[in-house]
Copies of this chain bind each other. A is one copy, B any other.
């Protein structure tokens, strides 16, 4: 590829001068400037970003650690970050670290080697302690979708617990009194927090959640189908189900309807996340919105701000899921 020197040689000037015109630097004579500009176009010169990064110690790159690009949730997350990075003329470097501590660590390391300006990390598997150490060492890291008290001003997170409470209040207001829950088998905090919030809120209304009505499965559509089958087979009574996420909720609905139960007439269902699917399932799904796009944008802004001194953390860090009332929940009357 053409380099600064090539241009300099062709123009009969020093490479410093060429560098100046490339960077619109301090005054260069208009004649020279024009001549060099022409040469740059003609010879198809493109500055080498690596060389630049090396000398300036800036990389115009924002790194993102996510488990999987194709998952709509993470795709939306990445997109949120991309939106703000484009505004700042930065680029997205994605490092996929799927759900093991080892691979998350590896993903972070790769980004570290790239000397990204800043890094937004979605990590569910690395332990709190390790993350805390890591974040102390790298002031430009930001954690998304997870709250750790010791580094709380660098966590952009959703209050899952509150989400569970909101779900409970919604169903309670609809006069439901017997509940079931479908949760995820994945060993992360989110399902526990959502469930705990839900159960706590029931308790406040003097309802003890019967753990026989709790079923776990994989957090997928199929998982939801299976969980609903289990629930049905158990012969327990319930008029409403709080489901870990929308995919499972939609799976559960299809099982229920296949078994002659109508949603919401016989059973109310509430999901979590508000993915695209939720809006177009039949019945349309009542759910709790996970504003991941917005959160990602905030995380990116925070990250960018943290990457430069002085660090000011005025960002919104904690997000509350919002109830999206659609058609899968209704008043209980029997």
Query: Contact: B79 with A47, CB < 8 Å?
Result: no
Nearest CB of chain B from residue A328's CB, rounded to whole Å = 13
Q: How many copies does the complex hold?
A: 2
Query: Contact: B49 with A114, CB < 8 Å?
Result: yes
For A127, the chain B residues whose CB sits under 8 A away are: none
Query: Contact: B94 with A92, CB < 8 Å?
Result: yes
Nearest CB of chain B from residue A295's CB, rounded to whole Å = 14
| CB 8 Å contact bits of A103-138 with B (1 = contact, 0 = none) | 000000110111100000000000000000000010
Query: Contact: B93 with A93, CB < 8 Å?
Result: yes
Give A264-299 interface residues, CB cut-off 8 Å to B: 276-277, 280-282, 293
Query: Contact: A94 with B96, CB < 8 Å?
Result: no
Query: Contact: B46 with A112, CB < 8 Å?
Result: yes
Query: Contact: A72 with B69, CB < 8 Å?
Result: no
Instruction: Pick the residue among B50, B68, B110, B113 that contacts A115 (CB under 8 A).
Output: B50
For A276, the chain B residues whose CB sits under 8 A away are: 72, 277
Does A70 reach chain B (CB closer than 8 Å)? yes
Does A86 reach chain B (CB closer than 8 Å)? yes
Q: How far is the CA of A49 from the CA of B61 in the complex (A)?
A: 13
Q: Which of A46, A49, A70 has the most CB of B within 10 A?
A: A70
| CB 8 Å contact bits of A73-107 with B (1 = contact, 0 = none) | 00110110010001000011111100000000000
State the interface size on chain A (CB cutoff 8 A). Answer: 45
Query: Contact: A115 with B49, CB < 8 Å?
Result: yes
Does A312 reach chain B (CB closer than 8 Å)? no
| CB 8 Å contact bits of A43-54 with B (1 = contact, 0 = none) | 010111111011
Q: How far is the CA of A61 from the CA of B110 in the complex (A)?
A: 11
Does A7 reach chain B (CB closer than 8 Å)? no
B-binding residues in A (CB < 8 A): 1, 44, 46-51, 53-54, 59, 61, 68-72, 75-76, 78-79, 82, 86, 91-96, 109-110, 112-115, 137, 221, 250, 254, 276-277, 280-282, 293
**Which are the 5 A-B pairs with shortest beta-carbon distances?**
A70-B79, A75-B75, A50-B53, A69-B79, A49-B113
* Other A-B pairs beyond A46-B109, A70-B72, A86-B96, 20, CB < 8 Å: A48-B115, A50-B53, A50-B54, A50-B59, A50-B114, A50-B115, A69-B69, A69-B82, A69-B92, A71-B75, A72-B72, A75-B75, A92-B94, A92-B96, A93-B93, A221-B280, A250-B280, A277-B277, A277-B280, A281-B282
